[in-house]
């Protein structure tokens, strides 16, 4: 990238010095500033058009600058911009709560709004803990959570405690509570010869062994269903989440399903829970809830759990947790418009050929000598970048192969989120077949050039 023109130098200076970016080493940061966007395309401050290959951190569903969502936001602005949910609410937020209940799995009937996925998971953790204190048969010893290796549920202290990615949270270990952590149900770590139902059984048996011994102290199982995103797109065998629901019921442990990243069509169905045919005790949503337009998340639970929080003002049964912008009506308007678009534009019905095209392109790239474990779930594709395909030996971290793939893709007009020794794409669901080809062309060029350079 050439030196920026004079009118951008000050902006870039502020970006490097005043704006502290998330998950970014600011000593190495090179400004990438987006000025406008439309559909699956973003335009940066240099005027470059960049295909949004990671849906602006897995959020964008229907495309940027969608007129229907824009109109809903504008209409709400002319009515009321903010109403607290502490003892009151807006009509738009009430309608969204009912609309969510209508589309999530049967049995989930009560919606608590927050502003981000971390907070949505925090609500579920707190509510699960409190449930066991005040249910009909109180079990105050149920204070722990069963979680999975390499999990990511957010960065607030509770959400970080049930996470399992060391580089994100190890530093804060003295601040976190202990959990029961299982190995990640990763299809790449199966014993030779196991697949299908046998693979599902293998991972479920691991969980059941722990439940047999520790269910009496466990408040809930917490899982990112089907795909563990921040772990590097770790994918579980289909049927695992369904089996987990059965085990949770059998051993009297609640099930928290974190669909913050997988919800709203990412894996091909509206929710992974739909594909798995289950209804959890808590479902958490975020990211795609407003199609990435505004910060909003939701924790949805059952009548059984909800009723344990009911009582008079002296009972102490209320959930004492809240957010200033919980249920913000402008966010709710965007979410309602996004949900409407799933029906109006037949978003899910149009996915099969897109999923197929992504799969075809991924299969071709999987033949590359430095690509291993090419994997796909719906509109999510990922692959590991390895020095030796036979042994799976990764490239040295200092080679920064994943970073280089993203840089090359950017030169080809596609934005990918850099990862150390893997690369992935999660485009907006609104992407066309032609744009999928552009995306995969750029990824292919990045893999070819970055791995060749790393070998020299």
Q: Are residues 312 and 422 in the same domain?
A: no
Q: Are residues 54 and 138 in the same domain?
A: no
Q: Annotation-wise, does 322 bind a ligand?
A: yes
In a domain? residue 8: no
Instruction: Give the domain-ending residue among 286, 312, 344.
Output: 344
Q: Are residues 107 and 149 in the same domain?
A: yes
Strand partners, 424: 382
Q: Annotation-wise, does 323 bind a ligand?
A: yes
Domain that holds residue 167: 70-344
Here the CATH number for the domain that contains residue 389 is 3.90.1150.10
Here the CATH number for the domain that contains residue 267 is 3.40.640.10
Distance from C-alpha of 355 to C-alpha of 269, rounded to nearest angstrom: 11
Q: Are residues 106 and 177 in the same domain?
A: yes
Radius of gyration of the chain (CA): 22
DSSP per residue, 194-236 = --HHHHHHHHHHHHHHHHHHHGGGEEEEEE--SEETTTTSEEP
Instruction: Give the domain-ending residue among 299, 317, 344.
Output: 344
Establish how many alpha carbons lie within 13 A of residue 227's alpha carbon, considering only the half-sphere containing its beta carbon.
27
In a domain? residue 1: no
Q: Are residues 309 and 393 in the same domain?
A: no
pLDDT reported for residue 191: 86
Three-class SS of residue 33? Answer: coil
Q: Annotation-wise, does 417 bind a ligand?
A: yes
In a domain? residue 9: no
Instruction: Give the domain-ending residue among 322, 344, 366.
Output: 344
Q: How many domains does the chain have?
A: 2
Q: Are residues 445 and 405 in the same domain?
A: yes
Q: Are residues 323 and 363 in the same domain?
A: no
pLDDT reported for residue 4: 78
Q: Annotation-wise, does 66 bind a ligand?
A: no
Q: Are residues 367 and 324 in the same domain?
A: no
pLDDT along the chain (456 residues), means of 10: 80 96 94 97 96 97 98 98 96 98 98 97 98 97 97 96 92 96 92 90 97 98 97 95 98 98 98 98 98 98 98 92 95 98 98 98 97 97 94 89 96 94 96 98 97 87
Closest CA to 120 of 86, 154, 161, 150: 154
In a domain? residue 278: yes
Q: How many CB atoms sit inside 10 A of residue 258's CB?
A: 30
Q: Are residues 269 and 120 in the same domain?
A: yes
pLDDT reported for residue 1: 59
Q: Annotation-wise, does 38 bind a ligand?
A: no
Q: Are residues 328 and 366 in the same domain?
A: no
**Residue environment code for 298-318, b if the CB has 16+ CB neighbours within 10 A, otherwise e:** bbbbbeebeebbeeeeeeebe
Q: Annotation-wise, does 117 bind a ligand?
A: yes
The C-alpha angle 287, 189, 370, rounded to 5 degrees, equals 80
Contact 307, 313 (CB under 8 A): no
pLDDT reported for residue 2: 62
Q: Annotation-wise, does 320 bind a ligand?
A: no
Q: What is the pTM of this model?
A: 0.97
Q: Are residues 47 and 75 in the same domain?
A: no
In a domain? residue 4: no
Q: Are residues 234 and 328 in the same domain?
A: yes
Strand partners, 144: 218
In a domain? residue 259: yes
Distance from C-alpha of 61 to C-alpha of 199, rounded to nearest angstrom: 32
In a domain? residue 83: yes
In a domain? residue 321: yes
């Amino acid at each position: 990238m050439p030196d920026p023109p004079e009118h951008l130098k000050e902006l870039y200076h502020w970006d490097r010095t005043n704006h502290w970016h998330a998950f970014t080493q600011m000593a190495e940061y090179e400004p990438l500033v987006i000025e406008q966007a439309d559909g699956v395309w973003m335009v940066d401050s240099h005027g470059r058009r960049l295909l949004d290959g990671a849906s602006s951190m897995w959020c964008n569903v229907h495309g940027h600058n969608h007129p229907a969502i824009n109109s809903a936001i504008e209409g709400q602005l002319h009515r009321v911009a903010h109403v607290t949910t502490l003892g009151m609410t807006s009509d738009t937020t009430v309608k969204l709560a009912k609309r969510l209940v209508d589309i999530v799995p049967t049995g989930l009937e009560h919606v608590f709004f927050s502003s981000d996925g971390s907070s949505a998971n925090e609500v579920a953790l707190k509510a699960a803990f409190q449930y066991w204190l005040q249910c009909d048969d109180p079990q105050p010893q149920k204070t722990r959570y069963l979680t999975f290796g390499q999990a990511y549920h957010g960065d607030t202290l509770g959400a970080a405690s049930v996470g399992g990615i060391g580089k994100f949270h190890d530093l804060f270990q003295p601040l976190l509570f202990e959990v029961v952590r299982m190995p990640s149900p990763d299809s790449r770590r199966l014993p030779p010869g196991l697949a299908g139902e046998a693979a599902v059984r293998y991972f479920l048996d691991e969980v059941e062994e722990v439940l047999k011994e520790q269910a009496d102290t466990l408040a809930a199982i917490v899982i990112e269903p089907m795909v563990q995103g921040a772990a590097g797109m770790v994918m579980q065998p289909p049927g695992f989440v369904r089996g987990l629901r059965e085990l949770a019921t059998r051993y009297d442990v609640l099930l928290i399903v974190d669909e913050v990243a997988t919800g709203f069509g990412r894996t091909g169905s509206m929710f992974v829970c739909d594909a798995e045919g289950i209804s959890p005790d808590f479902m958490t949503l975020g990211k795609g809830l407003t199609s990435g337009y505004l910060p909003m998340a939701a924790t949805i639970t059952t009548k059984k759990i909800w009723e344990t929080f009911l009582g008079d003002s002296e009972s102490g049964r209320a959930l004492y947790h809240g957010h200033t912008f919980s249920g913000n009506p402008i966010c709710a308007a965007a979410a309602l418009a996004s949900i409407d678009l799933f029906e109006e534009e037949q978003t899910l019905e149009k996915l099969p050929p897109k999923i197929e095209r992504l799969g075809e392109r991924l299969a071709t790239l999987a033949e590359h000598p430095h690509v291993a474990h090419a994997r796909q779930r719906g509109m999510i594709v990922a692959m590991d970048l390895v020095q030796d395909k036979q042994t799976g030996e990764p490239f040295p971290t200092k080679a920064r192969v994943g970073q280089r793939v993203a840089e090359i893709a950017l030169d080809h007009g596609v934005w990918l989120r850099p990862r150390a020794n893997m690369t992935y794409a999660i485009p907006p669901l609104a992407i066309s077949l032609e744009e999928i080809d552009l995306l995969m062309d750029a990824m292919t060029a990045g893999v070819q050039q970055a791995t060749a350079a790393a070998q020299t």
